[in-house]
């Protein structure tokens, strides 16, 4: 996918570059628009730098709660924001398209509602975070343990294989 904000070719790139100035270097933004841009920037950063491995659910939930993105976009992004590793190809798959669309929608929302550029921000995107989820290394289903663990089904299978190997050794 060529026209991405990450490659400096987004649909509203000039506006995005201007609005990034509303983001603080650290911490919550002073304005609602600043926190919105901080949120979409986090989603882009997670996709392109961290493979969605960190919990970024607060960012997408904040944008949805503020009506900056539509429910279809939220539904496409949200499942990948709680620690599931992105195994896409960065060539325009559904997650990449949804995140680029979230950026477009957020910028369009700010441009259509310019008062959010000066409206004081009273909440952090992190106030909207869901709990982390951990995923099985084998099948990508939700695992009960910590990072690097297996779901019960895969754990049982691994145990069976190990027992069989012991029998034949």
**Are residues 79 and 150 located together in one domain of the fold?**
no
Q: Indicate if 53 and 99 belong to the same structural domain.
A: yes
Does 122 lie in the same domain as 147? no
pLDDT digits (tens, 9 = 90+) for 97-122: 999 999 999 999 999 999 999 999 99
Residue 26 domain-assigned (yes or no): yes
**CA 14 – CA 114 distance, rounded (Å):** 16
pLDDT at residue 140, as a whole number: 63
Is residue 105 in some structural domain?
yes
Does residue 125 lie in a domain region?
yes
| Residues of the domain holding 162 | 133-169
Q: Are residues 116 and 68 in the same domain?
A: yes
**Does residue 3 form part of some domain?**
no
Both 91 and 29 in one domain: the answer is yes
CA dist., res. 46 & res. 83, Å (int): 10
The per-residue DSSP string of 103-118 comes to HHHHHHHHHH-GGGGT
**Are 62 and 98 in a shared domain?**
yes
Classify residue 7: in a domain, yes or no.
no
CA 110 to chain centre: 20
Domains of the chain: total? 2
pLDDT value for 74: 97
Tell me the whole-structure pTM to 2 decimals: 0.79
Same domain, 50 and 19: yes
Tell me the pLDDT tens digit for each residue of 10-42: 999 999 999 999 999 999 999 999 999 999 999
Kindly state whether residue 167 falls inside one of the protein's structural domains.
yes
Cβ neighbourhood burial of 69 (10 Å; 0-12, 13-18, 19+):
buried
In order, the DSSP letters of 100-167 are HHHHHHHHHHHHH-GGGGTSBP---GGGGPPPP-EE-TTT-SEESSSTT---HHHHHHHHHHHHHHHH
Query: Same structural domain for residues 85 and 155?
Result: no
Is residue 84 very low, low, confident or very high in pLDDT (cuts 50, 70, 90)? Answer: confident
Q: Is residue 1 part of a domain?
A: no
In this structure, the answer to whether residues 138 and 125 fall within a common structural domain is: no
At residue 24, φ and ψ (nearest 5 deg) are -80, 160
Of the ranges 102-106, 130-134, 140-144, which is most confident?
102-106
Q: Are residues 73 and 92 in the same domain?
A: yes
Structure tokens at 148: 């690097």
Are 20 and 98 members of one domain?
Answer: yes
Shared-domain flag, residues 150 and 122 = no
């Amino acid at each position: 996918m060529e026209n991405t904000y990450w490659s400096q070719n987004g649909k509203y790139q000039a506006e995005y570059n201007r609005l990034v100035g509303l983001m603080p270097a650290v911490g919550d933004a002073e304005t609602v628009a600043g926190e919105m841009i901080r949120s979409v920037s986090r989603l882009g950063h997670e996709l392109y730098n961290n493979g969605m491995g960190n919990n970024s659910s607060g960012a997408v939930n904040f944008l949805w709660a503020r009506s900056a993105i539509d429910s279809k976009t939220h539904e496409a992004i949200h499942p990948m924001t709680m620690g599931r590793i992105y195994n896409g190809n960065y060539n325009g798959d559904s997650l990449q398209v949804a995140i680029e669309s979230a950026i477009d929608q957020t910028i369009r929302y700010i441009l259509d509602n310019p008062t959010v550029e000066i409206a004081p921000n009273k909440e952090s995107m992190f106030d909207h975070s869901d709990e982390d989820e951990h995923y099985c290394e084998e099948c990508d289903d939700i695992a009960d343990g910590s990072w690097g663990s297996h779901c019960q089904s895969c754990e049982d299978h691994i145990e069976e294989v190990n027992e069989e190997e012991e029998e034949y050794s």
